[in-house]
Structures are given as structure tokens and as C-alpha cells.
Copies of this chain bind each other. A is one copy, B any other.
Amino acid sequence: MEPVDVTVAALHASVDDPALNSMNFLNEVAQHYPDAVSLAAGRPYEEFFDSAVLHRHLDTFRRHLADDLGLSAAQVDRTLLQYGRTKGIVHHLIARNLAVDERITVDPEAIVVTVGCQEAMFLVLRALRAGPEDVLLAVAPTYVGLTGAARLVDLPVRPVAGGPDGIDLADLREQLRRARAEGLRPRACYVMPDFANPSGVSMDLAQRRRLLDLAAAEDLLLIEDNPYGLFPAAGTDRRPTLKALDTRRRVVYLGSFAKTVLPGARVGYVVADQRVAGSDGTVGPLADQLAKIKSMVTVNTSPIAQAVIGGALLAHGCSLVAANVRERAAYARNLRHMVDGLARRFPTGGPVRWNVPAGGFFVVVTVPFTVDDALLHRSAREYGVLWTPMAHFYDDGAPVNALRLSVSAVTPEQIDEGLDRLAALLTDELAHGVTAQGRRYATPRVSGHPRL
């Protein structure tokens, strides 16, 4: 028998939690079936990857330090190689990017550069979870990284209905009322207003304003996560972020460069301009409190990784819209190819439905039967196609009749091949007369697509 030093039951509960095991499970399936077409991975497109950019970006940022900021050669070396500022060294470039691309005006001192957006999420949740009465609200279905980070700080996540408008405001009000009636303190509500992961749903402008008004009226913080905002569908316009509309410091904004520059830098950020009064009477941005936590998690974000992102920003006047012309076109092309491909393979009004997102990486397909991990295994093994059961994005383990397809890391040819295989699987399942059971996923409102 194998020796055992400790059981998982003696470790923090998070390590045995579905939210943390979910990603592992999905990765393992992918590794187990390397030849399957993956419509599961939310990774960015790799066709334009070229690691030669690393040298170029590093040198661009070094020149920026020397020429624009006036640093000596020794200071440049020290900035890149030594320990550094906890809140980061590309905050001024991020502020400029937010001004240029998002019309968000923010004091660079209110920005913390983090190790990917995941650390930003973790820092915010760690700061907000002060005691056992604290809870977080999140639009369901929810990005699993949010749920996982909440688990690490023992912060319960309560679902708010998403629905066709991105967030059901009546349900948000009801969840706030209920939590407070139970003596709980809802610290914030997590939302992804643009092309949400996994639902693909976006909020329209009026809904954004209503959400901000509600947040002000209810004294609620909003955590806005925006990894996909740069990638609208072909022919559609981008909408202002909540943060751009936020005149009352209600929004903590999470930013990622994983999809707009490259994931390997592991650089993200948080804009936290909320005014925090310290016990000594001084008032400063919430960012300063997050930085204190960060100093005990990762000390500071690698200045080398930041330099890569800084160089990429500088190469395009701090506009990621400009930097991603090719990528934006590729994602829009893929999204259209996916929804066109679904329409070609499944009859309108039939049992298989899907939404047509206004942008982003994800499309949700609903079917009249439960979509679980066993079906994913069968799909991988017998049909050679991977996708993500929507059940992974809910926290309650209830059955879900939907699956998520991703368009981000595949070519149009792979989309065709993957959809052929998916159609074979679903046709087979439908032929076996499996009937609906469990949660009925409501196909979100169709928008931005002439066909439907």
C-alpha cells in the first residue's frame, strides 16, 4: 500500500472543492484526448504567436524608461531586475490605455498591476471578506476562477440570475434583501457586462446605467471583469464599460492582458479608486490596501513580465484596439463561423438552440437533456470533440442542459470539423430519446445576427 502522510480532509476545504477540481478535470480530459478538436479551450488564438516579440517589447520598454522617464542605464537595469514597486511599474501606461481605449479616466495610483487578472480577483475578495457574515453575489453562470478565488478566502458566492439582459436586476434586489434579512453583508456583485464567460451575454447601455443606479441606491460595490470587451462581433460596436460610466466609485474594474497581449506574461490589473479611511485617519485608494495584501502573496508582479506588456502598449500608442487588428478580425470571423455553422447543422425551431453573442469567445448551446461530464467523456472518446459542460459554471451541482463552445483557439476548419462531430453526438443523443431533466437553461436573447 502506498504511504500516506496526510489526507485531503486535513487541508483547507478549497482543495477538495468542485470549483478548484473543475479546471483540473477539464484539463485532464483535454490531455487524455489530444487528437480531439477542442471547442472547450478559452485560450487566445495562437496563429500570430511569435516569441521574438519578447525581445522587441523588452527593448521598447527599456527605451521608454531611459528616454521618456529619464532613467540612467543603472536605474533601467535595477527597474527590470531588482525588487520593485508593489503596485507595479506600468500603471501609467495602463491608465493611458484605459483613457485611449475605454475613455476611463483613472489616477495611476488607483491601479495595482497583478499576476494576471486572477490575482486581482483574489486580492479584491481577500480584502472584502472581513468576517463570516460577508457574502459575494455573482451573476450565474459564473466564471469558475471567481468562485475558486472566493473559496480560498471562505467567501460564500450567492448566484444572481443573469437572464437575457446580463443581470436580472429584480433578482439582484431580491438577493440583496434576502442576504441582509439573514444578517449577512453582501460585499459586492461580480459581473462581466461584455460577452460574458460562459454565457456570451452582454448588457446594453440602459441596463448598465440601471445597474449603476441600483448599486448606488443599495450601497453595493460592483466588480467588473472585462477580459473580452475588445472583441465585438463583426459589424457591432463596443459599449462603454461600467467603469467608464461610474461617477460614484461603485465599480472595481478588473483588467487582463491575457487576450489582448499574451497570457504568458501573467499580467493583469485592478482599478480600485474607492476611498478607504485608515485607522490612523488617512484616506487613500482601495488600491493601497490591495497592495498590502499583494505584498504578502507575490510581493510584486515581475517587472520583466510588466516590461513585455509595457512594450506592447507603447508599440501602439497604448491602444490595444489598434494592437489587435488581426486578432479582432480573427475572433469576429470565428464567432460568425461558429453561429453560421450551428445554423447550418441544426434546424431553426428544433431541439438544439444556441445564442448569438455580440462578441467575445463563447457560444452556449442548449439541448433537451442533461449535459454532464460523462457526456463530455463520451464526446471526446467516441466523437473526438471537446466542449465545456455548463454545469461547471454553476455552484450547486444541479444538472444543466447546456454546453459552452469556444471560438478563440481554433481555425474555421477546426470549427467545421468540431461542429460536425458535435452534431453527430447530439443527433445520436436525441435519437436515443433522452428527455430533458434538471435545470432548463434558457437560451439567452439572440442579438446581432441577421439569421435569427
Q: Which residues of A contact B (CB under 8 A)?
A: 2-16, 19-21, 23-24, 43-44, 46, 49-51, 54-55, 58, 62, 74, 76-78, 80-84, 115-116, 118-119, 122, 126-130, 145, 148-149, 151-153, 249, 258, 262-267, 274-279, 283, 286, 289, 292-293, 295-305, 308
Contacts and interface: CB of A to CB of B under 8 A. Distances in A.
14 contacts: A4-B275, A8-B276, A8-B279, A9-B279, A12-B126, A20-B292, A23-B295, A46-B81, A49-B74, A51-B62, A82-B263, A115-B297, A145-B299, A265-B302
A3 B275 contact: yes
Given A249-B5, A276-B7, A304-B304, A152 B46 contact: no
Nearest to A152: B296
A128 B8 CA distance: 10
A404 to B, nearest CB: 17
Contact of A2 (B19, B275, B300): B275
Nearest to A294: B118
Best-buried of A11, A44, A55, A276 by chain B (most CB within 10 Å): A11
A269 B151 CA distance: 23
A13 B128 CA distance: 10
A387 B149 CA distance: 37
Nearest to A266: B302
Nearest to A21: B292
B83 A298 contact: no
A243 to B, nearest CB: 15
Nearest to A52: B77
Contacts of A19: 296
B54 A12 contact: no
A81 B12 contact: no
A49 B73 CA distance: 10
Contact of A151 (B46, B82, B275, B296): B296
